[in-house]
Chain A
Amino acid sequence: MIRSKESIFRLLLLLVAAVGLVAFAACGDDEEDGGNGADGTPAGTPTAGDDLSSIPEDTTGITATEILLGSHMPLSGAAAALYGNQIVPGMQAYIDYINDVEGGVNGRKIRLQVEDDTYDPSRTNSVVRTLVNQDGIFALLSGLGTAQHSAVFDFLKEEQVPDLFTATGATKFTDPITRTAFGYNPNYIQEGDAIGKYIARTHPSAKLGLIIQNDDFGRDGEKGIRQGIEGSDVEVVTVETYEAVSTDLTAQVQNVRNAGADVLAFYALPLQAGSIISTAHEDLAWDVPIYATGVVADPSTIQLAGEANAQGVITTAYLRPLNQGDDPGVIEHQRIMAQYQPEATVANLSIYGHSVAELAVEVLKAAGPNLNRRSVIEAAESIRDFTCSLCLGPINLGPTDHRSIETFSFARAEGASWVVFGDLVSYETTE
């Protein structure tokens, strides 16, 4: 039979492809065995992670004069860029301050390298691998974004790079415990629980309507609120969801009202929060008590909702709000920002950045001059009753507790700002 050159070529190609595929199928790799991570433990139950001695005393990223920390933040792209652009200056300002005034920690200056992941998980994967493999960071600080950090969490765990103070309230990073990973934000379930309990106390037989963002953040919040109202006469009459990309929540608010709710609670971002509040209080003239996640405890939310509409809305707070102008911590923050990051905006998010940097520095100090990846974990776990200059409550960490902020307070919208009131609520578990 006569075969043309082309068809022989094609046949060869197919043959090679077939061989290659068989080779892959035969060497079915992956399936890593012996992974830690017990599941089935209900949220909030501490479990111990890997043994401390399994973490090598690695000094990558540490020289006699410098400590290199990395971070992944959204600095461009989506609306999330708001977070990156305001948090990073806060962190950087405090670090510059410590380097300047105290010469760093134990004689080593801290260098923070923040990479932009444009809020895209595959980009996060790329920059974090670069940070670890090529730039040789000592630890990752304040990785932001649930989905984004999920993409790199296992990698950091495998490489045993300390994953410090992730900037998210998602529970998946701290339950079950990974020895090298620590959370920072109060987790949404705990916060929801607190809100739920507050609602149960204040409106004993309320019909509660929920509006949540259709992702982990919203879902965890819902879980928490349900947990909080358990045992009381409060009844959840409906749960409405929305996609992060939507800006019109009229339908959701409407549905909550139609379902007969007389209290509204929501887990949304400031953009949608403004819409929810103004739709309920102004457009529909519905005088319903509103409770919100602490994520919206920023003056801009009040502005977006319309000051008149936002009065009386209650949320949680764990850091001192910017508008408490006579607070020494806030004043100091403003001074530091003015000196080291004069062009950046001073906002609740820069306060956040400052506070997480402060905790990181405290941990580095506690690790002492003999700094390595194991000693920093030990140091972090030894933090007891540390109230940072901008925090409302103390931070406690331990081998079975890698959640940093578990104490928060409530705040109410009064005028153009959020005013903290009431007692601190604590979710610290005793070990």
Chain B
Amino acid sequence: MDEFEEFAQQVVTGASIGSIYAIVALAIVMIYRSTSVVNFAQGELAMFTTFISWSFIQSLDYFWASFALTILVAFFLGGALEVLVMRPVEQAPHLNSIVVTLGLLAVFNSLAFWRYGPVPRAFPKPEILSGDPITVGSVTISQLNLGIIVIALLIMAALFGLFNYTKLGLAMRATAQNPVASRLVGINVSRMLALGWALSAAVGAIGGMLTAASLTLSVDMMVAILIFAFAGAVLGGLDSPAGAIVGGLGVGILQALAGNYISSQVDIMAAFVIIIAVLMLRPTGLFGRRVVRRV
């Protein structure tokens, strides 16, 4: 395999795992964009809903039905969390809501552990996406991973459309920017906030299920992924869905390249370095918008 093909392969491998980061990053960005809160519980919530999907699959035995059902469950769970848990601290400074999301992280991790135990489980791959890997030249990518990239792009397009071309999306953006003014113009702020969390949980659930399909379903599966997803979100800009995709893919690719050309010993550190570098050079990320604070 020559130099270029090796490089291309690394890029493709990186993009495969990066697409999972991208989806989780998207969920993070969603909440940040609509509620200005960073949700540290994103990974555990996704993992928890994935376990629920596993339970559905066990009883329903049909992948796509369980998939859809889980998204619905996640949607309502997210909304419920916002109303019941985040609402009381939304007026308070950031520290409070960050700590609350950390509390949620602990709660969901523990609930999943209690209900499903420490044994890792195999998660079925959807039929459409299994099969022989696709090969271009000597560069291979599995069908599943290709499918994940496509799904990530689809979600992004859908959210992009939602935020920029619909009235609902406009209302959500307005709420994030200025809840008081939005209330004054008649936007149901509470509903927008709940919707933000609901959508984010749904996206997270998709990310979790795809992660489980390509790796293994276990209580700890999202821990490492969450960090890289954050790196991707920060890289792309915490308030930009497009940035989340680009950032997530970028982190995955950089990680693969670092693992290959430097050493696999530094892959997790690479995420840290990326985050620091971005925050030093361009804190709002590649696509984020600069927020000017008026004094």
Cβ distance A253 to chain B, nearest Cβ, rounded Å: 9
Residues of B within 8 A of A252 (CB): 259, 264
Cβ distance A266 to chain B, nearest Cβ, rounded Å: 13
Given A245-B223, A303-B122, CB of A271 within 8 Å of CB of B218: yes
CB nearest neighbor in B for A240: B264
Counting chain A residues whose Cβ lies within 8 A of the other chain, the interface size class is 20 to 34
CB nearest neighbor in B for A271: B120
Contact mask for chain A residues 220-260; partner B; CB cutoff 8 A; 1 contact, 0 none: 00000000000000000000111101111011101100100
The reply to whether A283 and B133 contact each other, CB–CB distance below 8 Å, is yes
Which of A79, A274, A284 has a CB less than 8 Å from the CB of B220? A79
Residues of B within 8 A of A331 (CB): none
Which of B142, B264, B267 has a CB less than 8 Å from the CB of A283? B142
Q: Does A289 contact B (CB under 8 A)?
A: no
Which of A82, A240, A254, A275 has a CB less than 8 Å from the CB of B13? A254
CB nearest neighbor in B for A76: B113
Residues of B within 8 A of A284 (CB): 133, 140, 142
Residues of B within 8 A of A81 (CB): 113, 118
Cβ distance A131 to chain B, nearest Cβ, rounded Å: 24
CB nearest neighbor in A for B265: A241
The reply to whether A247 and B268 contact each other, CB–CB distance below 8 Å, is no
- In the bound complex, CA of A246 to CA of B224 (Å): 6
Q: Does B276 contact A (CB under 8 A)?
A: no
Contact mask for chain B residues 189-231; partner A; CB cutoff 8 A; 1 contact, 0 none: 0000000000000000000000000111011110111000000
CB nearest neighbor in A for B221: A247
Q: Does A270 contact B (CB under 8 A)?
A: yes
- In the bound complex, CA of A322 to CA of B83 (Å): 49
Given A241-B265, A271-B216, CB of A82 within 8 Å of CB of B224: no
Interface residues of A in 82-125 (CB under 8 A from B): 82, 85
Which of A85, A242, A248, A306 has a CB less than 8 Å from the CB of B214? A248
CB nearest neighbor in A for B138: A258
Q: Does A14 contact B (CB under 8 A)?
A: no
Residues of A within 8 A of B113 (CB): 81
Cβ distance A88 to chain B, nearest Cβ, rounded Å: 13
The reply to whether B216 and A247 contact each other, CB–CB distance below 8 Å, is yes
CB nearest neighbor in A for B143: A283
Most buried by B among A241, A282, A283: A283
The reply to whether A251 and B220 contact each other, CB–CB distance below 8 Å, is no
Q: Does B66 contact A (CB under 8 A)?
A: no
Q: Does B260 contact A (CB under 8 A)?
A: yes
Counting chain B residues whose Cβ lies within 8 A of the other chain, the interface size class is 35 or more
Interface residues of B in 116-150 (CB under 8 A from A): 117-122, 132-133, 140, 142, 144-145
Q: Does B61 contact A (CB under 8 A)?
A: no
Given A240-B264, A284-B133, CB of A247 within 8 Å of CB of B218: yes
Cβ distance A361 to chain B, nearest Cβ, rounded Å: 28
Q: Does A324 contact B (CB under 8 A)?
A: no
Residues of A within 8 A of B145 (CB): 250, 283
Residues of A within 8 A of B119 (CB): 82, 300
Q: Does B16 contact A (CB under 8 A)?
A: yes
- In the bound complex, CA of A242 to CA of B255 (Å): 12
Q: Does B246 contact A (CB under 8 A)?
A: no
- In the bound complex, CA of A247 to CA of B220 (Å): 9
Residues of B within 8 A of A258 (CB): 1, 6, 9, 260
Q: Does A285 contact B (CB under 8 A)?
A: yes
Which of A243, A245, A255, A285 has a CB less than 8 Å from the CB of B132? A285
The reply to whether A251 and B120 contact each other, CB–CB distance below 8 Å, is no
Cβ distance A55 to chain B, nearest Cβ, rounded Å: 38
The reply to whether B118 and A82 contact each other, CB–CB distance below 8 Å, is yes
Which of A78, A275, A283 has a CB less than 8 Å from the CB of B216? A275
Which of A247, A282, A303 has a CB less than 8 Å from the CB of B215? A247
The reply to whether A251 and B13 contact each other, CB–CB distance below 8 Å, is yes
Cβ distance B250 to chain A, nearest Cβ, rounded Å: 15
Q: Does B97 contact A (CB under 8 A)?
A: no
Q: Does B256 contact A (CB under 8 A)?
A: yes
CB nearest neighbor in A for B13: A254
The reply to whether A251 and B259 contact each other, CB–CB distance below 8 Å, is yes
Which of A82, A241, A251, A274 has a CB less than 8 Å from the CB of B260? A251
The reply to whether B133 and A255 contact each other, CB–CB distance below 8 Å, is no
Q: Does A45 contact B (CB under 8 A)?
A: no
Cβ distance A312 to chain B, nearest Cβ, rounded Å: 19
Q: Does A206 contact B (CB under 8 A)?
A: no
Contact mask for chain A residues 300-319; partner B; CB cutoff 8 A; 1 contact, 0 none: 10011010000000000000
Q: Does B236 contact A (CB under 8 A)?
A: no
Q: Does B14 contact A (CB under 8 A)?
A: yes
- In the bound complex, CA of A247 to CA of B218 (Å): 9
CB nearest neighbor in B for A250: B13
Q: Does B17 contact A (CB under 8 A)?
A: yes
Residues of B within 8 A of A250 (CB): 13, 16-17, 145
Contact mask for chain B residues 40-78; partner A; CB cutoff 8 A; 1 contact, 0 none: 000000000000000000000000000000000000000
Residues of A within 8 A of B122 (CB): 274, 303-304, 306
- In the bound complex, CA of A36 to CA of B9 (Å): 52
Residues of B within 8 A of A242 (CB): 264
Residues of A within 8 A of B142 (CB): 282-284
Residues of A within 8 A of B13 (CB): 250-251, 254
Residues of A within 8 A of B6 (CB): 258
- In the bound complex, CA of A247 to CA of B216 (Å): 7
Residues of B within 8 A of A245 (CB): 220, 223-224, 268
- In the bound complex, CA of A303 to CA of B122 (Å): 7
Known: A248-B215, A252-B264. 10 other contacts (CB 8 A): A82-B119, A246-B267, A247-B224, A251-B259, A251-B260, A252-B259, A254-B13, A284-B142, A285-B132, A300-B120
Closest 3 CB pairs of A and B: A283-B142, A82-B118, A81-B118
Q: List 29 A-B contacts (CB under 8 A).
A: A79-B120, A79-B219, A81-B118, A85-B118, A241-B263, A243-B267, A243-B268, A245-B223, A246-B224, A248-B20, A248-B224, A250-B16, A251-B10, A252-B264, A255-B259, A258-B6, A258-B9, A258-B260, A275-B215, A282-B142, A284-B133, A284-B140, A285-B133, A300-B119, A300-B120, A304-B121, A304-B122, A304-B216, A306-B122
